Structure 1
Amino acid sequence: MNPVVIIGAGPQGLAAAAHLMERGMEPLVLEAGRQPAAAVDEWGHVRLFSPWPELIDGASRRLLEGTGWSAPDQGYPTGAQWVSEYLEPLAAALGDRVRYSARVVGVGRKGRDLSVDSGREDQPFTVHIETPNGEERVEARAVIDASGTWSTPNPAGADGLPAVGERDAATGGILTYRIPEADSRYAGRHTVVIGNGHSAATTIANLARVARRDPTTRITWVLRRGQVGDTFGGGQADELPERGALGQRAKRAVESGLVQLATGFRTERIDLVDGSVIVSAEDGRRLDRADHVVVLTGFRPDHTFLSEVRLDLDVRLQAPPRVATEVDPNIHSCGSVAATGAADLAHPEPEFYIVGAKSYGRAPTFLTLTGFEQVRSVVAQLAGDEEAAQRVELELPDTGVCGGAGLFDEPEQGGGCCTPAAQPITLEPAPAGR
């Protein structure tokens, strides 16, 4: 029988493989990188705000314990520690079921393009991959896309497109879309940080340490929204203490004067000027010349290789509609996001699922625990165990914040998500808490 193909050997992809094996099905994990969790490895210097017990999937734990592995149970690992102490051993336990340097470039149905109905469900999936040895086509009984969003960060431009000059600044190395290692390169320089999530708060807190050591260091934090709102998180009300503490560290950096805020600033241009850059807003404001620009405005899903798969996606968030109603920042950022399972993740293409951060589309609300629950449910559905697929085995931690992240300038209106009947939504953009 054809395997279940999993796209991506990150935390959710490897967990899906472990669940499939536990239920007697054969997984094949296709990873574009040259190692497991290649995306996590790129932000290995960042410490997660989820503790170890919330970063290990149940079926994966059981598989690893059979090899003599012992789970770390205390502390908050960095991305590099997550990889070396858990994800690499998990990939090793899966053995040759994981293939590296195998980039998926297309998914379809054998002999049927997107427009063909007749006999479609009876045909296996065809997964087209590029490898160092050329192109291949693999047949699959089902496909789980766990490829994430790390390779497609949102641009600085407030209209969702790169600002004028942004590509040149990125090519020249002045602009990055990754959380930087706050070292001597930033001391005595001016850095502009654009973004409003936990990745931005992490960067602000790290750069503030540099500024404390070298007072000539300048930091400007650009927020598109007109009000600070819940930028600093829920503090002590956050049920993930390290997530709450992260926002408070960023808040102290602002209150101490180490960081200057630019609110209501919607980036239009990033001009290179004699080895530095000038960032300009749509309303004509211009920031002082900067030596570095860090763009942390979230991520978006890449569906280009799924053009022959029948998808049902929300037009705003590019997430399945039932997921989008839970996480849409235009409506609210209140209350614990409900766990999502196979029924929420289903598409018109039977036995095709998108899981992990990519399932949330452009919404900045994903937690690793969410992904583990997703793959548990999806694999149960593929195994024909509908009772387990429908069962909810996860309650997500509250953030302690309340407010619509998509409101920008408008004050909170009565009757919205912050009324007593509502509860706050969990926010965790990748990668800081993944």
Structure 2
Amino acid sequence: MLELPIAVIGAGPVGLAAAANLVARGLPVKVYEAGAAAGASVSDWGHVRLFSPWAYNVDPAGRALLEKAGWQAPDEAAYPTGSDLVSAYLAPLSQTPELAPVIEYGARIKAIGRRGVDKVVSRDRELRPFQLTVVDSDGRVRRELARAVIDASGTWTSPNPLGAGGVAAEGEEGLADRIAYSIPDVLGRDRATYAGRTTVVVGAGHSAANVLLDLAELATTGPAARAIWLTRSNNLSRVYGGGANDQLAARGDLGRRLRQLVEAGSIELVTSFAATAVREVNGQLALDGETPDGLRTVSAVDRIVVCTGQRPDFSLTRELRIELDPWLESARALGPMIDPNLHSCGSVPPHGHRELAHPEPGFYTVGIKSYGRAPTFLMLTGYEQVRSVVAAIAGDVAAADAVQLVLPETGVCTTAPESAGGCCGGPAPSSIDACCADDASAKAQGKTGCGCGSSSKIGETAQAQ
């Protein structure tokens, strides 16, 4: 099987990084991208500016290929939009002499299995190549073989529903033409859809923050528009962020500006609202939801923007032996490290091939898909993931295990009431004003912020991968 390529699913930031690392190690690779070009999902939110600068968004192996081709790197301190990321980095990387011949566009992976056996068969399973069922842009179906598979297909095309119970709210599917599940370009191509109208934004992450800030700006430049923000929780610390303590200034500023608009009354905030139904009333929409005080209806709404995150699509891996965290749907070993019920300060230890592998030998889930339904992810995390995974595939166990990940702290650290252990490695000593053990240790060294140091994990706008 050594002559077969390693299949990479997805030509987004993490998928291209995987391909670049494979090329660097002299391993054959084939990349399958369902979209028409590299970074197709990123292009969907191209108008959004990332809150991490270029320094955090370029993979080292990808940089090496680009510089070999004469690429001029953007200013590392500048903040790209999604469109900038595609035009200045992903598109040039996909067009390098090493990667251009191995990427197929319009190629959707329908299923992955082992040639000649289903998932029940154990004997000599690892000796059989992977078989990918590929559907091309014309609808033709073919089978291709691979030595190993790196799934970097992301979650962008599988949004969570409006319904708080994890399934569509009553009436949601029938009114889908007035509900957006991405980040609409409120100040650009979608302006006419939202100008002068009442829009409800559901969610408490950075995607919701971006939409709300755009709606607030829209209201100052044209016909009066009204923005209503619905959140399932009453704890907004994650989206408001750490302000000046955030080591990514743009991320801290995002939360600060949103908080100011809410406190000024420019955005109406309704917390602890679990949506159960959406109805049409007199040509507009009404949302029904459960609150601690009983049922409540938010009415006279024109549009709904659902920013409740995404979930992985595992239909393509039904015939593989994958092991998932039972509630996050992340790689199982990764789940306890990123569970938002336990780690409210947003920390995650550096992790690599061992945490991203499955009982199916040679199959790895990477990028935002590896996090399942966990709410935050940074591209830099994905780059280190694939470096480790590719080293493991190449047989370089020492390099694969030498996982290093230093990420900027959020400046937010609150103890989760559901967890006796709190966050960042356990409870802090009662004698120290800190939220967790790592925070206490950091403060003892004179550090500020959460104190989770190199373990800190941050979320990127729109969960970019």
User: In structure 2, what is the Cα distance between the partners aligned to 1:227 and 1:372?
Assistant: 31
Q: How does 1:206-355 map to 2 (within 5 A)?
A: 206-214=214-222, 216-282=224-290, 283-334=294-345, 336-355=347-366
Structure-2 separation of matches of 1:344 and 1:241: 31
What is the Cα deviation at residue 272 of structure 1? 2.1
Matching residue's letter, 2:33: E
Matches within 5 A, 1:140-151: 140-151=146-157
Q: Contact (CA 8 Å) 2:377, 2:463: kept in 1 or not?
A: no
AA in 1 matched with 2:264: S
Amino acid at match of 1:86: Y
**Deviation per residue, 1:79-136 (Å, 9 max, x gap):** 0110011100111111120001110000011111000001101000001110126101
- The answer for the alignment partner of 1:168 in structure 2 is 174
Report what 2:140 is aligned to.
134
Question: 2: CA distance between counterparts of 1:326 and 1:229?
Answer: 20
Whole-angstrom CA distance in 2 between matches of 1:307 and 1:335: 31
State the identity as a percent.
48
* Aligned-partner SS, 1:121: helix
Deviations 1:354-404 (A, max 9, x none): 000000000012100000000000000011111110012321221111236
Which of the residues 396, 419, 428 maps onto 2:435? 419
Asked if the contact 1:230–1:403 (Cα under 8 Å) also holds between the matched residues in 2, the reply is no
CA contact (8 A) 2:352 2:389 kept: yes
Q: Assess, with a 3 A threshold, how the Cα gap between structure 1 residues 412 and 216 changes in structure 2: closer, same or farther.
A: farther
Cα distance, 1:426 vs structure 2: 2.9
Which residue, out of 190, 193, 211, partners 2:201?
193
Q: Do the aligned partners of residues 415 and 310 (structure 1) sit closer, same or farther apart at CA in structure 2, a change above 3 Å counting?
A: closer
Q: 1:256: how far off? A: 1.4
Amino acid at match of 2:95: A
CA shift at 1:336, angstroms?
A: 3.2
**SS across alignment from 2:298:** coil
Aligned AA for 2:172? E
Deviation of the 1:155 alpha carbon: 0.6
1:80 aligns with 2:83: yes
TM normalised by structure 1 equals 0.94
Q: State the aligned residue count.
A: 427
Q: Which residue of 2 aligns with 1:95?
A: 100
CA distance in 2, matches of 1:346, 1:382: 11
Secondary structure at the residue paired with 1:279?
strand
2:211 and 2:179 map into 1 onto residues whose CA distance is 14
In 2, the alpha carbon distance for the partners of 1:113 and 1:198 equals 41
Q: CA deviation at 1:288?
A: 2.4
The more displaced of 182-191 and 369-378 is: 182-191
In 2: Cα distance, 1:426 partner to 1:6 partner: 25
Q: Quick check: 2:154–2:368 contact (8 Å CA) kept in 1?
A: yes
**Paired letter, 1:193:** V
Q: Are residues 272 and 219 of structure 1, via their aligned partners in 2, closer, same or farther at CA, if it must alter by over 3 Å?
A: same
- Contact 2:414 2:435 survives alignment (8 Å): no
Structure 1 distance, partners of 2:317, 2:401, is 26
1:119 corresponds to which residue? 124
Q: CA deviation at 1:202?
A: 1.0
Whole-angstrom distance in 2 between the partners of 1:33 and 1:135: 16
- Quote the Cα distance in structure 1 between the aligned partners of 2:145 and 2:21: 20
Q: Give how far 1:265 is off.
A: 0.3
The residue that corresponds to 2:426 in the other structure is none
Q: Please identify, of 180-189 and 303-312, the stretch whose mean Cα deviation from structure 2 is larger.
A: 180-189
- What is the identity, as a one-letter code, of the residue corresponding to 1:113? D
SS at match of 1:5: strand
Preserved CA contact (<8 Å) 2:34 2:105? yes
**Structure 2 matches for 1:352-367, cutoff 5 A?**
352-367=363-378
Do 1:147 and 1:358's aligned partners in 2 also have CA atoms closer than 8 Å? Answer: yes
Give the aligned partner of residue 373 of structure 1: 384
* Aligned AA (2:249): P
Alignment partner of 1:286: what SS? strand
The answer to whether the 8 A contact 1:47-1:432 is kept is no
SS in 1 for 2:158: coil
User: Contact 2:50–2:461 (CA<8 Å) still a contact in 1?
Assistant: no
Q: 2:6 aligns with which of 4, 7, 17?
A: 4
2:31: which partner in 1? 29
Q: Flag the 1:366–1:265 CA change in 2: closer, same or farther, 3 A.
A: same
Question: Which is worse superposed, 419-428 or 141-150?
Answer: 419-428
CA distance in 1, matches of 2:145, 2:284: 50
Pair 230,103 (structure 1): closer, same or farther in 2 beyond 3 Å: closer
* DSSP-derived class of the 1:126 partner: strand
- Segments of 5+ residues of structure 1 without an aligned counterpart are none
Distance in 1 (alpha carbons) for counterparts of 2:37 and 2:29? 17
Letter in 2 for 1:350: P
Write the deviation string for residues 221-253 of structure 1: whole angstroms up to 9, x where unpaired: 001013434431111111111111111111111
Render the CA deviation track for 1:137-181: whole Å, top value 9, x for unaligned. 1100000000000010111101000101111221x2x11011111
CA distance in 2, matches of 1:216, 1:351: 56
- Separation of aligned partners in 2, 1:330 and 1:212: 38
Unaligned runs of 5+ in 2: 424-433, 440-449, 451-455
